[in-house]
Amino acid sequence: RLLRGLEGTTLLGLPNNRGFLLDILRHEGFADGSATTAFIPDHFPNPQRPRPDVATRALAAVLLYRHSAQARDGWRSASPFAVAIDLRFGEEECLCRVMPAANGYRVVLAEEEAVELELLAIGDGRLRYRCGGVVQGADYAFDCGDLHLDLGASSHHFLEFTPELAAAKERDSDGRLAAPMAGRIVAVRAQAGETVSKGQVLVILEAMKMEHEIKAPADGVIEAIPVAEGDQVEPRQMLAVVAAAEVDAAE
């Protein structure tokens, strides 16, 4: 009953570990009652948020494509030409090209083959789609342009990285890295005064049995890391401050 209850629960827009709990409940060692206090470290030593597969990324690209067209045009027939969608999820990005096809949409993902995706039904935050011959359902919601998808076994957060968003991010970024949610610091991999590179992992935060890597937003020097391994932190609590490296004007 617990498994069915979780499978039938939709959570959109909030960080959650429902997918991880489903993995636990479906595990043979848990279902047969043999699980001990060492079950998670034994069977899930390094849980990571699942990466969206090709079909999920294609679906996200199509929904963002439709959402952008509707916001811009009040929904008119989509352009017959391919439209580039700079898809972002987590720390990853994927440049997609979306265009209408005979039975839906044709989506080309970076360095991957094109896939055909057909929306069979959509409305009121629920949809059914066919991709690669497989029909699936999903719940979805938009929040200020961000897309939240719940596919039952996993949930994902996507956004379309536009020039306006890039400018705002550049303008607002001051090198301060805050905790995205409450959790425990399980590793600190840098110290004040250390030179770091963009994307370098500085702190690892564990929340809801999942690890979240806090990375340097740019090349620079660590000004402060006011947390230590084992600390409990609150949402938006400061974890690190990175002073961006100055660009030589002569370059």
pLDDT at 37: 79
The per-residue pLDDT string of the chain (251 residues; one tens digit each, 9 = 90 and over) reads: 777 777 667 767 666 777 777 788 888 888 777 787 788 888 787 777 778 899 999 999 999 988 877 765 554 445 566 788 888 887 788 888 899 888 899 999 876 678 999 999 999 899 999 998 999 999 999 887 789 998 877 888 898 876 555 544 554 457 888 887 788 999 999 999 999 998 899 999 987 667 888 888 889 999 999 999 999 998 778 899 998 877 554 44
Q: Beta strand pairing status for 238-244 and 176-178? A: antiparallel
| pLDDT score, position 121 | 95
Supply the pLDDT for residue 7. 67
Q: For residues 96 and 61, give the distance between their C-alpha atoms in angstroms, rounded to a whole number.
A: 7
| Phi and psi torsions of 96, nearest 5° | -110, 155
- Token pair 């935050």: residue: 125
| pTM as predicted | 0.59
Q: What pLDDT does residue 55 have?
A: 93
| pLDDT for the residue numbered 51 | 84
Q: How far apart are CA 155 and CA 52, in angstroms?
A: 9
- The length of the chain in residues reads 251
73 is written with which tokens? 């045009």
Distances (CA, A) of 25 to 18, 39, 199: 10, 12, 34
C-alpha span between 98 and 115 (Å, rounded): 10
- pLDDT 10s digits, 212-221: 888 888 899 9
- The amino acid at residue 48 is Q
Specify whether the CB–CB gap between 222 and 191 falls below 8 A: yes
Question: Residue 236 is encoded by which pair of tokens?
Answer: 């938006």
Question: Among 200, 159, 156, 211, which residue's Cα sits nearest to residue 177?
Answer: 200
Q: What distance in Å separates the CA atoms of residue 193 and residue 96, rounded to the nearest whole number?
A: 39
Cα–Cα distances in angstroms (integers) from residue 155 to residues 61, 113, 137, in the given order: 15, 24, 12
Distance CA 187, CA 183 (A): 12
Reading the block at residue 129, the tokens are 């789609």
The domains of the chain, with CATH numbers, are 2-43 (no CATH), 54-164 (3.30.700.30), 174-244 (2.40.50.100)
Cα 30 to Cα 40: distance, rounded to the nearest angstrom: 10
